[in-house]
Structure 1
């Protein structure tokens, strides 16, 4: 109801009451309704910005409201009457300067005629009232402020004003109230320095100001005041307050003396009070004991703290305003106890307690952030123990609310930000979504801006930087991680129970730097620090198995580097402890199993005994029900168990375990995230494809080797392909289901959507997929294809799978009409492949001096000759003599072999690959099948993109010659922007790019074409849907290079264009001189038939490269990198 209408109705009611004196009128429901409505309306008016008309209406309503409440106050006693008087004062105070507006009965309280004795007496009564209405505090301050000003030496008034202002600050958070509270308290103490009430009031204000601003001197001032009160016989509440102050001072200084003093004082308070002890004092003792447990590791302190906290929570009445805080404190204590007991029921209890606490507190309660953190902590801890992603997601949300609820600059933002960082860090390790890692670093840095617990925050932030260093290959991040870790350890006392965790994190940082640099000193540091961490961790601590596992990995690494039997023995022992120390259903168990398998494998390789097959099977976890274990950890366990089985000579078991690992690989990548996150997660399992292919070849199962390669290679692209699958069969069965599935797939295939949206769409995708596969005849809809489904892709030629291994490699020849054939390649060792790739990349990255050019040419010749001897030559021999023309071959290399020019392999002076075969490269048989199945273009719509000059790059003067090769649309110079290219390519069937490109070995998904305004990235290219995409010619730098770490994901420009739908792609393995690139492109288009289809692309490119070889025999860098992808 509008303000004026409510005022009119209330005025009528008051007039009627004055006329007939019926006391039921002001006390009735109708009056109460008007009063509540006017109270809300009046409190909502901003007098600083209101119009004169609204100001008048506000004043009239305020007077009417004050009259009503004063009349109600005069008619009833007790708490209800106190509240009415308070509301009358609060309503009238803003307009009381105008004496005409103040009702006569209220003039002693407000206005120019007010009486300070009456004001002080009323304020004291309001502060003592058992009622809990906020107006009591506001009215007491409104009355006591002028009363205290009139008699500044009146200690009781200044002390009461100090207390009231401090309480309102605690309620509303106003710094001004707190400053005024301190001022009033200091006046009270100065006016009569021997008054205990004033000392207590000022001490409480100082303590409150410390919480706001973090100045420890405020705590010390408060402690001195309370010690004087205690010395003069202060009651138990003074001892309890002193205990709180010493606890806070410990949290600032980390001086255990304050902590012990706090425990003694709180114990004394409870003893002195006996049965009359307040719940808040028991709660404080619980908090102090919990802090001492965290500092010393005392189990007795922990158990007593938890018992006290639960007792206080259980005994708190439903209407106790502190009940929510007590419940949250109980949740925190129970959580800490659970870390030592391992009791899963206590995790559930902590979550329930914290959830009840949040439900109990009003939305506007300023203690709500603390309770939110308690709930987030409970959910976080339960997710760590159980692997529940739902708990973890909810913890991240609640921790975000907790931080948002703390004002900027408040000391409480530090702990809230640190907790949010810890939750995001856990979620990153669980899902691999890089935005979580970025948020962890951001929140961790913010936490350092607030005082208190800095060593804990340094340690946690150092861990975040350590993990980020692995995603961006940043030396700066790793340096920062070690710096923060050392600072945290250095600032932690030797007897602090937190030291073990900080030592473990610093050890991990040194271990990571060792992995990046090979520095043995860092490895030694990691082992020393890790050993200290283990020694300081209690036997019942939940983190001990993880620390055993980390130390085992470091000892194993030192054994591999130096051959020390002692390190190997220690590694096996530690890894066994880690695995045996975890419950069977613990989410960390697969990670521990992987470490133990690696230790056993090293022992086997040194001639030691192998564990029995059933032990290896158990380590793989195939029979364990671990639905909450990380997919990445489960893949790692199966991978490591498979390698162990192979080392032990159990070939069949090795193949089965590696198959199980590959089957789970598609679930590793975080589907709700982008390519960058997914590639990083999958890249952590490098070597799995090579191991699985080798295991099947060992067993004489080349078909299984091919199927394994199909399952384990190109996982990211295969998942994306699943969102583009044709649904003709489905549409015939259920058109509505097909439409819905297509709609979801289109959104999943579009980059740029947020993680929450993608997570929701993937859930819809999986639900729809289950419904589709339930339809008759569609049981294998979008399932991984079997070899029999794919062999037709090799029609007219042979797909050659090439794989390197530790002791030799294999090629598998796949044809459309015969079983696959294995070709042993005994000289193709993975170490030799790594050496060749390293040498090639080093040579290609050299400068343009004559000596560097000569080294580059010689290196490429050496690589081509090595490839012919070890891989391509034996495969060519197995194909037989070419007749009537060259063999048609599609190369399918695993791992780093994909970076090498297999198609151009040759020994000087002898026929090579170019002479005996027409070569193409394919990411997988499935990709070749899909390219064959796409119908050729029916029209030729060319698009040419040429950039002679690109900001920040060397000029490409030779690119100008390529602008007119195709005709049709041309985008050059400033017109060649990403937006224009994306628009134009939608209508093109042939596309030619003569520009720079970038290949990012750390994050291939970040690579792309360097256009005038920005990089056109791989995900953007792969997201294209040209209607009749036929040929993409990438006359640019490194358009088929994808780095070593993610080699089996085959993420590069050529594969991105092929995924976008182009049937044929011509690209380059490394940067080519722009003049030579123009020469190759000119010859290619001149020889290619002028038809819409480009099915002659592979043989034509071979002829072009043969011609360039003839003209540039001495410089293979000009012709060896040119490759074709497609049918």
Structure 2
């Protein structure tokens, strides 16, 4: 009975090998298991029975994926191997079978020990096989496959080279009619494909397609391995499409995948991979042709693959990452935030399941970083941008030189630095963006389909730097790169609108700085084409509308064609209508629309249009979605536009701008950047103060001058301020605030110090990230403190009723130097109000002229040179005296008269006056003003008062009454000026 059952079991197994019917395999295992249960321990056929049953369980595992089968197969075959002698002719087969089982278990569980054991047994099998034995080719091929599998897990090129070496040797000695020739060809093709993916050599990809085609051609239609060969060949065609962009390759890939899927049973363990592969092809076709149906199919196939994949399967991270990519692209196409959240969720899961030494780890890091970058662009949260850069930076460290993913990682990092520069304004970020974009482009072959994307990214960075520094070479480079990118982009490509928009933006930038109308016409042309080819409902539509609207507004400003202005208003309104309230670009669209209405007001003199413009800017300034920089710029535009008509009051606009100033000049940026930002708004303080003075709100004018001119100093002072009052009532909060303030102050000091070269850019980036994190935490703690009873004004800038206390040793004269008129704000000892004196004969233009005369005179007198004095030029002394006479007549004398100091000659100690000038008046020698041309000597300032200077009133409050002040003796004379 036992021999009959054994024969029956073997017959069922052979029929399974030919026809692939699972029932045959079940019956084979049933028969052989029963025979084994009847066999005594000393049965001479026990070893062969254990091996046969183990092989059957292994086959069923490969067909159904039940891990119990694999465990049983390894146990049975290990027992069989222990019973065979080292010189037995069947030893190579036993070793090879057991190696295959460990290899299969590795493929499903990912345990490194299994693939290590597999390589060990395969190596022993090859060594035990005679050189002239026909099975040597098969064993060499299996050893190559084991090395291939370890390469997939660890990414070591040495394993891949060994795989190709063994598989090539196997193919060379295999007979043309052997049954395993198709599998041998397929495995060698797979290794060449992996080497292509790792090193990018097209020769490897060509060999992969050649060998896979041969494998497919030599496989009968009824063979159970036919789907495997179809899938493998489709993968290589898909890779060639990604590398060269030929749609014919993609169509072939999808054709082979469509043939393979119906041949795969629902319970087949490879079904998830085949579903995933077909989904990936649909996704590639979506990226190439932009058809949403392809993207939905990709998500659908990937969803089915995920449902069928066990939680502990080593391929699960790959499937999760792919699904995350598909949802990320759906967000980019439809703008639905839910898709972006799913993308981050899937990619985060993929990353969490990937070991630190896995070769796919850099790819998952780049993918997750890309989604955080997309969420930053959509919601404007700096944490997302920081996370994106963190993931890209980790990936960059892990990606080996020559890896195709290196280019993508560099490009993404460049994009992040570009975005951060636009958000925070730091030029160092822009330089890094250009560096990474340039490196990405250098690594991109001329025939690569991603070349246009790299060209566009680099062009965008050059255009951004041109907007900041106005170096003509940058905009020329931008237009050159973007033109080449556009030439390489076929009609109908989903990225065509972006390429057109980028080139239009560069032409628009060149027009705004160089004024060539041809550039503006080209900008209108490219933006119009971009709008035409952007599908309805696409998230980029609002950007296309806003940009074309701005171009028409600029063309109206230059040519005065009313149709341009009407189009500007129409496009800007359409952009606003389809922009979500939480979109970070909303402020920019408001600004463009406001500009269009302002131009209409200037054209028609109809106040309604100006009021519409101001309403838009007021709304933009208050938008919580906008970045602080954008909102501040909107508030400044609001204030400037409101000042265009004398009937309007710009006070609210200036107050909004000044309230937003600490967010524009942000503690999270470097001290150097904060001072650089202040230079861009040099006139805000005097403009705001002038508006307050016009409204007779002199205390507000004083506050604005004080807070706006010295915002960085005030920020530093706040970090070092004692927190005694808060500590007394809320010690825990005070302690946290003190710790963060101390760390932030230290980080700010480091950022001001020049760094020795070579300076570790990674350390610089980490320092910047830390500083921004501390600044955010510091702001949050301040909000908590100010919400407490009695702490509303905690560490807030001082109000006027506190600032006036600075006048302890005499009057303080704050001079606001505006382009229309200079004004003096008088802060008097013992007074709680601020007095105003208009200096009607003096303004910014006159101040600049007097400053030039003073400096020229001093140079000609030789008083600006060190060392040996040069010969005085004729007339220099007279010009200097003339300048001092103007300062006396137009500034100093009116102030002294207003204070009553010139009503009569003063006896005894002269009163003390502290000057606090602004703008170009800060460079005028107020303390030396006087009439030096009168015979016998005219009136001079030091006959009436002793002068000193202060940059701010807060600086005076920080000193003691006994501190010395800068003064001049009463007998100071023009002749002593040396």
Q: Is TM (by shorter chain) over 0.5?
A: yes
Q: Quote the offset at 1:666 in angstroms.
A: 0.8
Distance 1:371 1:487 in 2: 31
Say yes or no: does 1:1094 pair with 2:959: no
- Counterpart for residue 216 of structure 1: 202
Matches within 5 A, 1:811-826: 811-816=824-829, 817=831, 819-823=833-837
Q: Quote the offset at 1:822 in angstroms.
A: 4.5
Q: Deviations over 1:141-184 (max 9, x none)?
A: 33434655735975433433333322221111111121222233
Distance 2:505 2:871 in 1: 42
- Counterpart for residue 693 of structure 1: 689
Distance 1:199 1:530 in 2: 52
Distance 1:215 1:855 in 2: 79
Q: Deviations over 1:214-250 (max 9, x none)?
A: 1122222222333344455673443433333233223
- Which of 170, 179, 182 is the matching residue for 2:152? 170
Greater shift in the superposed pair: 137-146 or 208-217:
137-146
Contact 2:74 2:101 (C-alpha < 8 Å) held by counterparts: no
Say yes or no: does 1:633 pair with 2:630: yes
Secondary structure of the 2:643 match is helix
Q: Deviations over 1:1100-1120 (max 9, x none)?
A: 5x97xx65x5367xxxxxx7x
Greater shift in the superposed pair: 603-612 or 736-745:
736-745
Distance 1:855 1:369 in 2: 74
Contact 2:556 2:562 (C-alpha < 8 Å) held by counterparts: yes
Say yes or no: does 1:141 pair with 2:129: no
Matches within 5 A, 1:543-562: 543-560=540-557
Secondary structure of the 2:967 match is helix
Q: Deviations over 1:408-430 (max 9, x none)?
A: 44222222232233334333433
Say yes or no: does 1:504 pair with 2:373: no
Q: Quote the offset at 1:687 in angstroms.
A: 4.3
Secondary structure of the 1:591 match is helix
- Which of 341, 365, 376 is the matching residue for 1:348? 341
Inter-CA distance 290–764: structure 2 relative to 1 (3 Å threshold) = closer
- Counterpart for residue 404 of structure 1: 397
Say yes or no: does 1:377 pair with 2:370: yes
Distance 2:247 2:645 in 1: 54
Distance 1:637 1:432 in 2: 16
Greater shift in the superposed pair: 122-131 or 643-652:
122-131
Q: Quote the offset at 1:790 in angstroms.
A: 0.9
Distance 1:902 1:404 in 2: 60
Contact 1:523 1:558 (C-alpha < 8 Å) held by counterparts: yes
- Normalising by structure 2, we get a TM-score of 0.75
Secondary structure of the 1:412 match is helix
Distance 1:349 1:834 in 2: 60
Matches within 5 A, 1:439-450: 439-448=432-441, 450=443
Distance 1:899 1:572 in 2: 45
Inter-CA distance 243–670: structure 2 relative to 1 (3 Å threshold) = farther
Say yes or no: does 1:242 pair with 2:244: no
Contact 1:722 1:782 (C-alpha < 8 Å) held by counterparts: yes
- Counterpart for residue 592 of structure 2: 595
- Counterpart for residue 282 of structure 2: 289
Q: Quote the offset at 1:86 in angstroms.
A: 9.8
Distance 1:106 1:614 in 2: 98
Distance 2:784 2:742 in 1: 18
- Counterpart for residue 585 of structure 1: 582
Secondary structure of the 1:783 match is coil
- Counterpart for residue 413 of structure 1: 406
Aligned length: 863
Distance 2:514 2:877 in 1: 29
Inter-CA distance 771–636: structure 2 relative to 1 (3 Å threshold) = closer
- Counterpart for residue 791 of structure 1: 804
- Counterpart for residue 800 of structure 1: 814
Say yes or no: does 1:159 pair with 2:157: no
Matches within 5 A, 1:840-879: none
Distance 1:360 1:178 in 2: 24
Distance 2:546 2:322 in 1: 33
- Counterpart for residue 660 of structure 1: 656
Inter-CA distance 288–521: structure 2 relative to 1 (3 Å threshold) = same
Greater shift in the superposed pair: 759-768 or 597-606:
759-768
Inter-CA distance 349–768: structure 2 relative to 1 (3 Å threshold) = closer
Contact 1:240 1:269 (C-alpha < 8 Å) held by counterparts: yes
Distance 1:1099 1:760 in 2: 49
- Counterpart for residue 983 of structure 1: none
Distance 2:939 2:216 in 1: 97
Distance 1:828 1:444 in 2: 51
Q: Quote the offset at 1:209 in angstroms.
A: 0.7
Say yes or no: does 1:619 pair with 2:612: no
- Counterpart for residue 196 of structure 1: 182
Say yes or no: does 1:675 pair with 2:677: no
Q: Quote the offset at 1:555 in angstroms.
A: 4.5
- Counterpart for residue 303 of structure 2: 310
Inter-CA distance 115–499: structure 2 relative to 1 (3 Å threshold) = same
Inter-CA distance 124–584: structure 2 relative to 1 (3 Å threshold) = closer
Aligned-residue Cα RMSD (Å) equals 4.8
Q: Deviations over 1:810-838 (max 9, x none)?
A: 55444443744445567777788889999
Inter-CA distance 762–227: structure 2 relative to 1 (3 Å threshold) = same
- Which of 107, 114, 117 is the matching residue for 2:86? 107
Inter-CA distance 875–556: structure 2 relative to 1 (3 Å threshold) = farther
- Counterpart for residue 21 of structure 2: none
Q: Deviations over 1:923-947 (max 9, x none)?
A: 43323333xx3464xxxxxxxxxxx
- Counterpart for residue 643 of structure 1: 640
Matches within 5 A, 1:962-1041: none
- Counterpart for residue 16 of structure 1: none
Q: Quote the offset at 1:203 in angstroms.
A: 1.8
Distance 1:465 1:548 in 2: 23
Which structure 2 residue ranges, 5 or more long, are not aligned? 1-50, 59-68, 752-766
Distance 1:220 1:572 in 2: 55
Matches within 5 A, 1:1079-1090: none
Distance 2:384 2:659 in 1: 27
Secondary structure of the 1:749 match is helix
Contact 1:119 1:143 (C-alpha < 8 Å) held by counterparts: yes
Inter-CA distance 595–103: structure 2 relative to 1 (3 Å threshold) = same
Secondary structure of the 1:592 match is helix
Q: Quote the offset at 1:688 in angstroms.
A: 3.4
Q: Quote the offset at 1:206 in angstroms.
A: 1.5
Q: Quote the offset at 1:597 in angstroms.
A: 2.3
Q: Quote the offset at 1:337 in angstroms.
A: 1.0
Which structure 1 residue ranges, 5 or more long, are not aligned? 1-69, 90-101, 937-1092, 1113-1118, 1120-1127
Secondary structure of the 1:632 match is helix
Secondary structure of the 1:318 match is coil
Secondary structure of the 1:799 match is strand
Q: Quote the offset at 1:211 in angstroms.
A: 0.7
- Counterpart for residue 79 of structure 1: 70
Say yes or no: does 1:752 pair with 2:743: no
Q: Deviations over 1:600-629 (max 9, x none)?
A: 223323335444788556524559985453
Matches within 5 A, 1:697-776: 697-727=693-723, 744-750=740-746, 751-752=749-750, 754-759=767-772, 761-762=774-775, 765-766=778-779, 769=782, 773=786
Inter-CA distance 701–203: structure 2 relative to 1 (3 Å threshold) = same
- Counterpart for residue 226 of structure 1: 212
- Normalising by structure 1, we get a TM-score of 0.66
- Counterpart for residue 387 of structure 1: 380
Instruction: Write 1 or 2 for the structure with the bigger share of helix.
Output: 2
Contact 1:600 1:610 (C-alpha < 8 Å) held by counterparts: no
Say yes or no: does 1:322 pair with 2:322: no
Q: Deviations over 1:843-877 (max 9, x none)?
A: 999999x9999999999999889878987787677
Distance 1:844 1:316 in 2: 84
Distance 1:756 1:648 in 2: 44
Inter-CA distance 498–716: structure 2 relative to 1 (3 Å threshold) = same
Secondary structure of the 2:816 match is strand
Distance 1:862 1:536 in 2: 67
